[in-house]
A = this chain, B = another copy of it.
Amino acid sequence: MIDISVSNVMARGVETITGDETAAGVARRFAGEQIGSLVVVDPDSGTLTGIVTESDIIQQVATNGDMETVPVSTFMSAPVVTIESTEPIHAAADVMKRHSIRRLPVVDSGQLVGIVTTTNLTHYLPKLRNTILRERGTNQNR
C-alpha cells in the first residue's frame, strides 16, 4: 500500500478563475477561501489554460504591478503541468521536484478532477509511516 494513487490524497472541487480577473481579485479569493492557487480556465470552452499561485501575486507586488488592473492571463503560469489521478503519489512528488512547483492540477481524459499539493503529500506522510510499521509487524509475526 505504499503506492497509493493521487486520487487518494488530492483535493476535489478545485477552484477556478478566468484570465480576465485581476491580481487583486485573485488575492481576495486566496485570502477569503484560504487557498494558495486557482486554476485558470477558458470561460467558453472550460479548457484549462493556466494556473495562478501565491508566488505569482508576490511577483506582481515585487515589480509594482497595478494589482487592481493587471489581468491574470498576463502573469499566470502556462502551460500547466498536470498529472492523472491514477498515478502514484511518488510520481506526483517527482514531477513537483522536477518542475520546482508545489501544486499539480489533476486531469483525467481532459477533465479537471482535483489538485494535489505538497501539503496533501505532507499530510499523508505519517499515515504512510504507520502503514509501513504495521506491515513490518505483520512480517515479524510470520
- Which A residues fall within an 8 A CB radius of B? 2-3, 23-24, 27-28, 30-32, 36, 54-55, 57-59, 61-63, 67, 89-90, 93-94, 96-97, 102, 117-119, 121-123, 125-126, 128-129, 132-133, 139
> A31 to chain B: which residues have CB within 8 Å?
55, 58-59, 61-63
Minimal beta-carbon separation of A22 from chain B (angstroms)? 11
Q: List 9 A-B contacts (CB under 8 A).
A: A2-B132, A24-B61, A31-B58, A31-B61, A32-B62, A36-B54, A61-B67, A118-B118, A121-B122
Q: What distance in Å separates the Cβ of A124 from its nearest Cβ neighbour in chain B? A: 8
Q: In the assembly, how many copies of this chain are there?
A: 2
Q: Is the CB of B54 within 8 A of A58?
A: yes
A73 to B31 alpha-carbon distance, docked (Å):
19
In the complex, which of the residues A32, A55, A94, A119 has the most CB atoms of chain B within 10 Å of its own CB atom?
A: A119
Within the complex, the shortest CB–CB distance from A123 to chain B, in Å, comes to 5
Residues of chain B within 8 A of A24, CB atoms compared: 61-62
- Which of the residues B36, B58, B126, B133 comes within 8 Å of A27, measured between beta carbons? B58
